[in-house]
Amino acid sequence: MQLLVNALIAGSLAALIAGGLSLVYGTLGVFNLALGQMVLIGGYATWWLHQEIHAPLIVSILFGLGVGALLSWFTFEVFVEPFWKRHRFLPLVTTIALSMMLDGAILLLFEERPRAIMPGLRPPFHIAGANISGIQITLILLTLLLLAGFAYILHSTPFGRKIRAVVQHPHAAESLGIAAPKLNRIIFILSGVLAACGGIYQGIDQNLSPTLAFAITIKAYAAIIAGGKGHLWGAILCAYLIALLEQLAIGVPWFGGAYIGAGYQQTVALFFIIAFLLFRPTGIFTSRARTA
Amino acid sequence: MAKRFLSLLSLGLLTLTACQTGGSGDEGPLKVGFIGPLTGDAAPYGVDMLNGTKMAVEEINTAGGVNGRMIELVVEDGRCTGADSASAAQKLVNVDKVIAIIGGGCSGETLAAAPIAEAASVVMISPLSSSPDVTMAGDFIFRDYPSDALKTKAMASLLREEEFTKLAMISENTDFAQAFRESLKQDLGVDMVVFDEVVDPGTKDFRTLITRLKDLEFDIFFPNGQSDAAIAAMMQQLREQGLLQQAISHDVADSITLGTLAPEAVEGMYIVNVPTAGEGGEFQKTFDQKFGGAQATIAFAAHSYDATKVLAKAIGTVGTAGTAIRDYLYSMPAFSGVVGNFTFDRNGDVVGIPYGLKAFKEGAIVKVRDLPVLP
């Protein structure tokens, strides 16, 4: 039971980030390798307002989200929009450049030492044999709510239908009066906001340090590749699945009582994903044949 | 094409090297290299190291330099990894032609840079590396920071004294943490270590390992992390699971950042580290004024300060030749620095610095008592 809770905590973080990424990848087909840095900057901005300026938590979180939105807007205009129509792999290079700049900016602005948005201990509850703190429950529920909201918008509203139309055929969509460029921009900014949510989650639940960015990016990509290209639900479920596999890998005794060394935690989880993709190369959750 | 480019590049590098005036001549500034973790998770230590070194260099230069020649510091970032440190050492030795190197910080940095410094007969003094492996790293490799081989002995005897019998530890997979783990296991005996897991460097989610600890009988927990970020996460997640056993850790936990990150979780945690490192003294006052306080601990700055001062004294006494500096360091009279009166033994390890037992109390680090150094 505790393992499930642990997986929920870790998975929610990964799902937030992978969800945003899946949106962008599904609609624009663009790789954003500065994602991890966007996550960190959202978290750091919140930390800064809450811990240094002593603003209330809610204000700080909104500020963090705002910074995330602004940053992703800037990223889109400068590093993605001018390039991605010429070749969809060009932003791969430009966002790597951006990620390096942001790495430097994080070090300059927030220093090297680790930061926590809400330092201190949270008294845990005991629910069905598992320990979980109120803040963790809140974080998990908010994440699920947010992701469900996004999925609902995408799959069940006129706005979502427009987005999917742009994905399927941008020119046809435009000739029907859908402003494709505007939609792309909105989607990119939304993914930035989700990334900032991830950073705030990380900053509240654990702590932020400048070297986390690349690991975050890799995990999010693993989730969207396993989930199927542009399949929002798939990416989210896979984020949780990877987290659960990681916990199971080291949390239960395998092969007659021996535990797998904790150093192999990620290896085992990603190995499962690889094995799965061998049999279903299009992703684990693409059976309904509807993407984006 | 690639080959042609490479050859052009190396040709260019050769020309550059040829143009260097070099620090080891008789004129011009004395070039001293610096390698430390300036970015990455271990950066707080690297920044303290660099500031301590800078402070010493400035003082020496303001006082007229070494025999009238100014010291010029060439700073390289080792990023706490062997690969980056090795290329930093290559550059310092071959391009900048430094006289000596202060560094590295992380033990992995020192071990990777050592063969390069050794081959070029360049003295390297590490102010921070504590891995037992550094002892045998080479003839030109010194350190004014005590080896973990002695520290784990002190820690083991402390645990026996306080009658702890079952140790649970989680270690990061880095040179320093692994060396400490092996050494402690040897000193304690394998039977006393009831839980021993190794995680990837940079891991922040220890919840499942700690869930396993709940079903285990242990009386003391040792977060053996390479960075305070990891130790904070371990302690926080341990306490959130309701595990209230005593905790003990090493140098890395001797960080004021821990007290602000996880004040309740680290409350009462023991730290075994070098005791006096200029805390509260004149050194700290000047340092705080200049750099606005230490990022991790003043001890790291103090050791770097002393390493620089001892090096300057060696150059001042015997000149700039690497072998002469080495011989001086092996046979010098006790050097009275901020961290204490010390000499170097025949392996280049520091002699004369005792250990202290400290503990977290209300978010601050207080000294409990001295620990004897056991041979």
> B295 and B335 in one domain?
yes
Check CB contact under 8 Å for B211 and A6. yes
Check CB contact under 8 Å for B202 and A215. yes
Surface-to-core class of residue B45, CB atoms within 10 Å of its CB (0-12 exposed, 13-18 middle, 19+ buried)? buried
Out of A2, A111, A212, the one facing B211 most closely (by C-beta) is A2
Residue B59: inside a domain: yes
Is beta strand B123-126 parallel, antiparallel or unpaired with respect to B193-199?
unpaired
> B74 and B37 in one domain?
yes
Residue B32: inside a domain: yes
pLDDT at A163 over 50: yes
Residue B315: inside a domain: yes
> B182 and B88 in one domain?
no
Residues on chain A touching B207 (C-beta within 8 angstroms): 2, 6, 9-10, 247
B259: preceding bond cis by omega (within 30 degrees)? no
User: Rounded CA gap, B352 and B341, in Å?
Assistant: 6
> B267 and B156 in one domain?
yes
What are phi and psi for residue B36, nearest 5 degrees? -160, 165
Check CB contact under 8 Å for B207 and A247. yes
> B173 and B113 in one domain?
no
Out of B208, B209, B257, the one facing A113 most closely (by C-beta) is B257
Please give chain B's pLDDT, 375 residues, in tens: 455 555 555 545 444 444 444 445 567 899 999 999 998 778 888 999 999 999 999 999 999 999 999 999 999 999 988 999 999 999 999 999 999 999 989 999 999 999 999 999 999 999 999 888 999 999 999 999 988 888 888 899 899 999 999 999 999 998 889 989 999 999 998 889 999 999 988 888 898 899 889 888 999 999 999 888 899 999 999 998 889 999 999 988 888 888 888 888 899 999 988 765 666 678 888 999 999 888 878 888 999 999 999 999 999 999 999 999 999 999 999 999 888 889 999 999 998 887 888 899 988 888 888 777 665
Domain count, chain B: 2
Residue B11: inside a domain: no
Structural domain including B91 reads 24-146+279-344
> B200 and B155 in one domain?
yes
| Chain A contacts to B (CB-CB under 8 A) | 2-3, 6, 9-10, 103, 107, 111-116, 119-122, 124, 131, 133, 202, 206-207, 209-212, 215, 246-247, 250-251, 259, 261-263, 265-266
Supply the angle between the helices A158-168 and A180-205 in degrees, to the nearest 10: 110
Check CB contact under 8 Å for A119 and B204. no
Alpha carbon of residue B115 to chain centroid: 18
Residue B131: inside a domain: yes
Q: A123: nearest CA in chain B?
A: B240
> B321 and B214 in one domain?
no
Judge whether B33 and B103 are in contact, CB under 8 Å: yes
Task: Using alpha carbons, select from B141, B147, B145, B179 the residue that is nearest to residue B346.
Answer: B141
Domain A2-279 has CATH 3.40.50: no
Query: Any chain A CB within 8 A of the CB of B48?
Result: no
> B164 and B29 in one domain?
no
Q: Provide the CATH number for the domain around residue B58.
A: 3.40.50.2300
Check CB contact under 8 Å for B198 and A262. yes
Check CB contact under 8 Å for B257 and A265. no
Judge whether A237 and A285 are in contact, CB under 8 Å: yes
Residue B15: inside a domain: no
Alpha carbon of residue B361 to chain centroid: 24
Q: Residues A160-179, buried b or exposed e (16+ Cβ, 10 A)? A: bebbbbbbeebeebeeeebe
Residue B10: inside a domain: no
Three-class secondary structure of residue B69 per DSSP? strand
Residues on chain B touching A131 (C-beta within 8 angstroms): 240-242
Residue B3: inside a domain: no
| Contacts for A166 with CB less than 8 Å, ≥ 6 apart | A27, A173, A178, A180, A183, A184
Instruction: List residues bridging with B141 in a β-sheet.
Output: B124
User: Rounded CA gap, B108 and B102, in Å?
Assistant: 15
DSSP per-residue string spanning B258-269: HHHHSHHHHTT-
> B268 and B159 in one domain?
yes
pTM above 0.80, yes or no: no
> B73 and B162 in one domain?
no
> B253 and B181 in one domain?
yes
> B359 and B251 in one domain?
yes
Task: Using alpha carbons, select from A6, A24, A9 the residue that is nearest to residue A230.
Answer: A24
User: Rounded CA gap, B371 and B256, in Å?
Assistant: 21
